[in-house]
Amino acid sequence: MRFLSFIVTVLTGAVLIYGTLDMPDWGDPNSPASRHVSPRYITKTEVETATPNMVTSVLADYRGYDTLGETTVIFTAGVSCILLLRRRKKTTG
């Protein structure tokens, strides 16, 4: 069983390494991730949000709804932790 898991792990790793052969090089300025929407954030952040820190402006202004959903995730996790860990009075468990 342990040997089977090791084989599966090595196979998955080999497939992923094969997949990296088509990935953009490290530090490539023309990689697809850096070309599409990120130049707009870099150039317009001062004009539109008056925030010098681009990470803050994207997190709190452009993607504010994303951050709102993130707080919902934390809230759900906290509520489920409370529900799981509270001591019930009648049943033992």
Partner 1 sequence: MEFIVAKYNYWIYIILMMIGFYAMIAKKNLIKKIIGMNIFQTAIILFFVSTAYKKGTTLPILTSADAHGEHAIAVAQYLNPLPHVLMLTAIVVMVATLGVALAIAIMVYRRYGTLNEDEIIKAMK
| Per-residue DSSP letter, 37 | S
3-state secondary structure of 77: helix
Q: Minimum distance from CB of 85 to partner 1 (Å)?
A: 5
Residue 11: both structure tokens together:
């196979």
The contact pattern for partner 1, residues 45-74, with x = CB under 8 A and - = no contact, is: xx-----xxxx--xx---x--xx--x--xx
What residues contact residue 67 under an 8 Å CB cut-off, 6+ apart?
59, 60
Q: Which amino acid is at 67?
A: T
- Residues found near partner 1 in the complex (CB under 8 A): 1-2, 5-6, 8-10, 12-13, 16-17, 20-21, 23-29, 31, 33-34, 37-39, 41-43, 45-46, 52-55, 58-59, 63, 66-67, 70, 73-74, 76-78, 80-81, 84-85, 93
